[in-house]
Structures are given as C-alpha cells and as structure tokens.
Structure 1
Amino acid sequence: MFAVVSGSMSAQRLSWLKQQSSMVASIVTDTVALDLPLPAIPSALRTPHERAAYLLTHFWDSMDFADTLRSRHPAFMEQNLVNFLSLFPHAQAEARTGAVKVLMQRAESDKTLYLLLAELAEKYLYTNSSPMQNEEHFIPFLEEIVDTSLLDETEKSRFRFLLSAALKNRPGTMATDFTYLTPNGELQTLYTVPVTCRLLLLFYDPDCLHCRETINALRTASRLQQQIDSGQLTVLAICVGEDRDLWKSSLKDLSTQWFTGFDMGCIRQEERYLLPDMPMMYLLDGEKRVVKKEVSLHQLLLELQE
C-alpha cells in the first residue's frame, strides 16, 4: 500500500503505520478481508500528486457501503481509513477535499458508519499522539460533518467547535494581532515586533512545568541561538497566565534577546488563539503569516535545520 505512491515518508512514520496495521489485523475476524483492493492507476498519470489524487478519488470504489458486515466493522474501517489517510501527504489539497467529500457523502447511507468514520478521522488526524496528526487534513472531514443533514445540531456541536479552532490562524493566513504589556509597562502589539525573516511566537504560563522545560530547551538550543544571532529568527514570548507578579519574576528565565510580554486578555479571554496545551508555539514569517501552527519543540528544531 505504502509503495504505490513514491514519496519521502519517514521510517518512524512508516513503522508506526505498519504497527497500526498489524494491531488492527490481529483483531479482524476471518469473515472480513482486511484491505480494500487498490484501483489500477492509469499509466498516463506519472507524478506522485496525480497518482495520489487518482487513488484517493477511487479508493472506496470497491466498497459496498450497504454491506454492514464491513462498514460497521471497526477494525476493517480503521485499517482502510489509515491506508486512505496515508495518501494525503502526497496529494494536493483539492484532491484531499474532493476525496473526503465523496467518502463522507457515501457514508451518509448509514449513521453508525458515519459516526465511526468521524471518530477515526479525529483519532488519526487530530490527536497529538498520532504521527498522522494534521489539522489541515482534518478540516475537510470537519467541513463535511458540520454540513451534513444526517446529524442534529447537538451531535454537530463539538465538531463545529473543532472546525472553528482549526480555521483560526491556520498556516498560510496572517496571524491574528493582539496587544501585550512589555516589562517596562508599555503596550505593544504583535505587528509592532520587528522581524527580518521568521518569528517564533511562544505562549507560556510560568506556573507550568512543561513551559519551563521548553523555555530552557529553547534557550540552550544552539541552532535556534545561531539564527537569533544572525537575525534570521526573532522570538516573542507571551505570558498567558493571570499572575502578573509571577510573570515578572519569570523574566529572569527568558533570554534577554527575546521580546517578552504579558497578555492583556485578548488572547485567552477573546480566544484569538486557542491554547489547548501549554506551552503553545507558532512559527511566522517576516510578514506575520503563519508558517507552522501549534508546532512542537521537536518540529521547530527540525524546521530550523532546513
């Protein structure tokens, strides 16, 4: 399955996918075949994007959605959805969106199946522990779910919230502005911070242990420091805690080369940025356009090496 479209899937990612496949296969009954047969790709389609788009479009062609022995079988559907999602990194956004639309509209024939697919899409594309986690890949599923007539408004409410969160400050859009208090008592905004190349936007709470660990790791990361020294990276660390005195006492733990500030309420209270976990980091370009949203420390350091 994974060799059909050429690409640069990491060994760690491939190992995880194979582990998931093995786990699912071990609990599939003898009466249900594990994988849907893949459609034959026309020889005229040569680029990875073209081949992936074709596979995504026709992935579910052999699936009889009225066959509840298969469609309501959690392990069968999980295995095939994982195979389907593994093609997403190789396809363009338009192809992904179209393929998800076809899948979810066909699944509307059975509410049990529809809810199962919604649950699995969230598990693999939204859960932080999943190597397949990708909010941009999850958005097409959310858009279909909130638009379907199959579910009532109560059933859609959580998905509406997730979609609203996913659409805020998504990669490629201009970051939402906010006002913060500087250590010397002045009010500044995100867009007044001078940036030459890229800006690391760090939201933290000094009362959060993980925040303190991340801040220390950032301070001691040689590659990050090199980029700061060369003017390629600017850091803006914003305290979103409620204790201003604690924020002031925490400033000694931050690099003197960073811009620092205290949230005046518009980040959390007005939910301009949703902060499900702390700390939260965004990587912006010189114009304050979002490059990476909710980036982890590991992802950030890899990005800075490129």
Structure 2
Amino acid sequence: MKTHLYYYIAIVCIILGTSCTSGQKQHATEEHTSIQKENVATQPDKAQFPFPDIPVMLTEPEERREFLLAHYWDNFNFSDTTLLNNRDITEQGFVNHISLLADGESSSQEITKSLDALCSHIEQQREACKTFMHLFDEYLYNPNSPLYNEALYLVYLNRMLQSKTIDDATKSTLAFKQKLISRNQPGTLASDFTYYLPNGQASKLHQTPASNNRLLLIFYDPECPSCHEIMQDMLHDQTLADAVTDGKLTVLAIYTEGNPEAWRSDLSNLPANWMVGTDREAIKLNALYDLKAMPSLYLLDGNKKVILKDAPYARIRAALHF
C-alpha cells in the first residue's frame, strides 16, 4: 500500500510540476511528509520507476499530463531482464500507466498514442514483449482485475496486430480475442443463438419476448462457486423478483457448459418465472460471446440491442433503477 501511495504521489507531483523528494515546501502536510520519511528510512536504496523528464516550458497540468502519457516509458530499459522481473518497478509502473489512461481524463487520441508508444518499445524485445503481454492480459482482460477494461485492451490488441515483429501464432490468438471482444458491444445487436427449454423446446434469443423492453441475459454454470455466489445475490433480491413478477423485466438464464445432468438437477433452485435453457455448448463452440468468467450478465432492450455487456450485477440494478 505504501509503495502504491508513493508512486501515486510521484505521478501527481510530476503532472503538477512540484518536487516529491528533497526540498519540499513547508506547506506539505505532515502525513505526506511522514510517508516520504518512512520510505526514505526503510528503503534507502530502493530503485524507482524512471519517469520521463518533462520540459520546463510545459507548465500547465494538461500539457504535462499529455507529455507524460506520450513519453511514459522513454527512460525504461526494456532489454534489462532484471528490471523486467522487478514487480515494484515494472508491474507497478504499468498499473499506474493504465490507471492514468483509464481515469476518464484522457482523449481517445492520447490513449492510442500512449499505448502505441509502449507497444513500439516492447515489440523490439522478446522478454519485454512476453512480460508486458502478460500484464495486459492480467490487468485489462481478466474480469477479476480492478483495472479490467475491454476498451483499453482492444486498443492494445489493434496495435499489436499491426506489429511486424509478432509471430503469426501470437497474432492469431490476438485476432481471436479482438473478434470476440468486438462482438456484443453496447449499442449493437446481441448475437443470436438457439437455446433449449427443459422440455426440449427450441427457441432463439431474438425471438424471446422482453417485458417492458428489458431482458436480463444470464450465462451461468451451477457448478461454478463464484457463479453460485452471484446467482444467490440475484435469487434473494426481492426487487428483482418483484420486477419480473410485475412484468417490468424478463430474465433468461442460459447454461453454457457440457453437463446436462448438473443443469437439470439445479433447475428447481431457479425462480419459476425465469426463462431457463441450455445452448448445448453452441455459444462457446461458435465463440458468440466472450465468457471469460461466470456468471456473465448482459442487459438487452426489446430489440435485443446490448445496453450493458458482461456487467457486474450492481451495474445491472442501477441501470434498471432498482
């Protein structure tokens, strides 16, 4: 935590053009000063991230921020494998970089330019490329990451697919992820699929009626522990139950795995007014939806356009004004 706070303070100081080391102004808070003293006392020789030197003629925070994003990695030695394996510098530096890009202050042009600069560095060094591609996957594509961000990840994928140094096998993997992520984006029509009710009757998503122009699409697996926890939250949500009963929302729960016995044995645990079916693994086989983790929740309108994609249940509730 102290390391994270130190880096955060360092970045803020760089953008504002103030000093975070020696010669601090007397108006600094005691808490700020004590944190720095503790860092100096306990980590006297600790290496720090090599932030770029921002030209002194750039005095406005916006200008300094833009320069920092464009040149964030200029002083980093991507050929140094020891440095690459130093999580306090490399991984923390990456996390801070991504946090800056994701804070809502950066334009799409600034984001693209900043990630392009980073990718231009890593594609020249094999070990650096391996290390940073793992970081991109772990922080931006992992749904359990606090920095999970498909939009930034897609910018990274688009850039790396243009690389002339990445091998074809790696590009094929990146292209598959790019195609998968690009599907079912908010504002687009959700991919249609056939599902089967417990009685064997077949239906399609696009033919499923949506009460009050809203449909909550749930991809789930009763054998998944984390899925069970979130499903229980929904099952015990009286507001959700009332909304379905009052015709304000349709819930369609689709089992996407390959154990029909487990699916059938769990049917009695789901509300009778939910529509429940199985796709018989067609969604995964055809890569129609990006099901990285279960459950995966989509909020659709009556025309089956995506309102929210793979969203936490709290965001679903907020969008439904629960």
SS at match of 1:154: helix
Aligned to 1:201: 217
Please tell me whether residue 63 in structure 1 is matched to residue 78 in structure 2: no
Please tell me whether residue 259 in structure 1 is matched to residue 275 in structure 2: yes
Taking structure 1 as reference, are residues 87 and 288 closer, same or farther at Cα in structure 2, changes over 3 Å only? farther
Aligned residues: 281
Please tell me whether residue 95 in structure 1 is matched to residue 95 in structure 2: no
* Rounded Cα–Cα distance in structure 1 between residues aligned with 2:138 and 2:117: 20
Taking structure 1 as reference, are residues 44 and 246 closer, same or farther at Cα in structure 2, changes over 3 Å only? closer
* Rounded Cα–Cα distance in structure 2 between residues aligned with 1:95 and 1:114: 22
Please tell me whether residue 275 in structure 1 is matched to residue 298 in structure 2: no
Could you say which structure has the larger radius of gyration?
2
**Residue pairs, 1:202-217, within 5 angstroms:** 202-217=218-233
Q: CA deviation at 1:235?
A: 1.1
CA contact (8 A) 1:70 1:77 kept: no
Please tell me whether residue 236 in structure 1 is matched to residue 248 in structure 2: no
**Residue pairs, 1:1-306, within 5 angstroms:** 1=8, 30=45, 32-34=47-49, 36-37=51-52, 39=54, 43=60, 54=66, 57-60=69-72, 62-63=74-75, 68=80, 72=84, 74-75=86-87, 76-89=89-102, 90=104, 91-195=106-210, 196-229=212-245, 231-244=247-260, 246-301=262-317, 303-304=319-320
Q: Deviations along 1:177-218, whole A, 9 cap, x unmatched?
A: 001123454321111122234322112234445444433321
% identical equivalent positions: 29
Of residues 231-240 and 293-302 in structure 1, the stretch that sits farther from structure 2 once superposed is 293-302
| Structure 2: runs of 5 or more not aligned | 1-7, 16-39
CA contact (8 A) 2:70 2:110 kept: no
SS at match of 1:278: coil
Taking structure 1 as reference, are residues 228 and 34 closer, same or farther at Cα in structure 2, changes over 3 Å only? same
CA contact (8 A) 2:234 2:240 kept: yes
* Rounded Cα–Cα distance in structure 2 between residues aligned with 1:28 and 1:122: 30
Q: CA deviation at 1:305?
A: 5.2
* Rounded Cα–Cα distance in structure 2 between residues aligned with 1:286 and 1:3: 45
Of residues 212-221 and 294-303 in structure 1, the stretch that sits farther from structure 2 once superposed is 294-303
Q: CA deviation at 1:230?
A: 5.3
CA contact (8 A) 1:28 1:34 kept: no
**TM-score, length basis structure 2:** 0.70
CA contact (8 A) 1:74 1:116 kept: no
Taking structure 1 as reference, are residues 86 and 255 closer, same or farther at Cα in structure 2, changes over 3 Å only? same
* Rounded Cα–Cα distance in structure 2 between residues aligned with 1:3 and 1:72: 24
| Structure 1: runs of 5 or more not aligned | 6-24
Taking structure 1 as reference, are residues 94 and 235 closer, same or farther at Cα in structure 2, changes over 3 Å only? farther
**TM-score, length basis structure 1:** 0.73
